[in-house]
Amino acid sequence: MRKQIAAANWKMNLTAQQAENLMNELVALPHQLYEHQQAIFAVPFPYLQMIEQKLHGKQNVFVAAQNCYYKKNGAFTGEVSVEMLQSININHVIIGHSERREYFNETNEVLALKVNHCLENNVTPIFCCGEPLAVRESNTQESFVAKQLDESLFHLSAEQIIKVVIAYEPIWAIGTGKTATSEQAQDIHLFIRNHIAAKYSERIANEISILYGGSVKAANAKEIFSQPDVDGGLVGGAALNAQEFNTIINSLK
């Protein structure tokens, strides 16, 4: 069975004390992760070590960075390399979140370089793709997402791409309170899987976890995750509430 993943993206939120309190509360709540399930916490750079230490040794639980640079080192003030992350035991990174694309002008080409750098260093990229409202309203979301995959991932070998986690983000449903129906989520997830299968093979496509990343909450997680091609969620606002995110973890199939 593909990995079923509940990934928390804290974005640029919480003070250090608030972050510690949230994680303490979450760790104390009852949840069980089976062998095919994972919980991943993508936290701001200053909190990576603290959260990693709190979760160290826990089975199927990982800490992720929210971004990285595509160079190993050098005069790149403000950037963080994959090697730096590895040196503090961080082995997952979100690549190409819609906010990075929109506010920081990250292109498909730049994201391909970041994916390469992660894989060269045995770090798992959580690669984000998805369309804005105008594209959804014009019913061209499939070609839009296909282009993102083609230009950022499809240069990879079959052995490389199975190491990537994909997160589909309907940008129109992030932080807006709107959520794609479970059927809409399934439709685009199935399209992504079929697009991968056409490039590689059905076997490869069926090994890749594809997460849904649009306003997942405790109230809708189980229904969304029940869809056959939805392998969990990349969760924003609801991940800042311990009870909410714990319910989401427990909603994994």
The one catalytic residue in 52, 92, 97, 244 is 97
CA-to-CA distance for 38 and 45, rounded, in angstroms?
A: 21
Compute φ and ψ for 180, nearest 5 degrees. -60, 145
**Lookup: tokens for 219:** 């109230």
Q: Is 195 a catalytic residue?
A: no
Buried (b) or exposed (e) across 153-174, using 16+ Cβ within 10 A?
beebeeeebbbbbbbbbbbbbb
Cβ contact 215:9 at 8 Å: no
The SS3 assignment for 235 reads strand
The DSSP H or E segment spanning 220 is helix 218-225
In Å, the largest CA–CA distance within the chain is: 48
Selecting among 52, 99, 169, 244, the annotated active-site residue is: 169
Query: What residues form DSSP beta bridges with 92?
Result: 64, 124
Catalytic residue check, 169: yes
Helix (H), strand (E), coil (C) string for 144-212: HHHHHHHHHCCCCCHHHHCCCEEEECCHHHCCCCCCCCHHHHHHHHHHHHHHHHHHCCHHHHCCCCEEE
Closest by CA to 68, choosing from 109, 115, 105, is 115
Q: Cα 140 from chain centroid?
A: 23
Residues marked as catalytic: 97, 169
